[in-house]
Amino acid sequence: MKIDRRSKMLEIIARKDIETQEELAQELRAEGFNVTQATVSRDIKNLQLIKVLSSSGRYKYVANKEENKDTIGKLVTLLSHTILSVENIDKMVVVRTITAAASTAAEAIDQLDLAEIAGTIAGDNTIFMMVRSEEMAVQIVRKISEMVGK
């Protein structure tokens, strides 16, 4: 649900000039999301939205593309230094990491917000990911392997 809501937020700010958190909350409610201003505030922070001056002279929220690219680059670097192997077994993806790195790597994977992943569980050197379908599990293995050069 969080991913859907955040995706909808990005869609809304791409098509409309939204100046306040309350305006954004109203738009989300109109789209069927039951949100509070506090939820919208947290999502704005997590999405790293920024305000810029629009052509109409009002401020509006926009996605900070440079910040997102930089963050994703850092996450991929972290993963490439910690992941040893990735494989799928049915709808599960098993990721082996260097000792004591699974928790950090799982958090990095979670931050990538890959829609195919339902959730991650990390031990000391192993991450289990529940993926939404077997086909998506194969895609995730391919994506992560390409990201980390394995």
Q: Is the Cβ–Cβ distance between 115 and 143 less than 8 Å?
A: no
Question: Is the same domain home to 53 and 19?
Answer: yes
Question: Is the same domain home to 140 and 72?
Answer: yes
Structural domain tally of the chain?
2
Question: Is the same domain home to 90 and 143?
Answer: yes
Last residue of a domain, one of 16, 38, 63: 63
* Parent domain of 16: 2-63
The pLDDT tens digits for 74-117 are 788 889 999 999 999 999 999 999 999 999 999 888 888 788 89
> Looking at the predicted structure, is the pLDDT value of residue 67 above 60?
no
Question: Is the same domain home to 82 and 144?
Answer: yes
To the nearest 10°, report the CA torsion of 109, 110, 111, 113. Answer: 100
Question: Is the same domain home to 75 and 48?
Answer: no
How many Å apart are CA 18 and CA 128, to the nearest integer? Answer: 39
Q: What is the pLDDT of residue 70?
A: 64
Question: Is the same domain home to 59 and 78?
Answer: no
Question: Is the same domain home to 46 and 76?
Answer: no
The pLDDT tens digits for 18-44 are 999 999 999 999 999 999 989 999 888
Q: What is the pLDDT of residue 113?
A: 77
Model pTM score: 0.56
Question: Is the same domain home to 58 and 101?
Answer: no
In the chain, the amino acid numbered 144 is: I
Question: Is the same domain home to 33 and 100?
Answer: no
Question: Is the same domain home to 120 and 140?
Answer: yes
Last residue of a domain, one of 63, 78, 100: 63
CATH number of the domain where residue 50 is located: 1.10.10.10
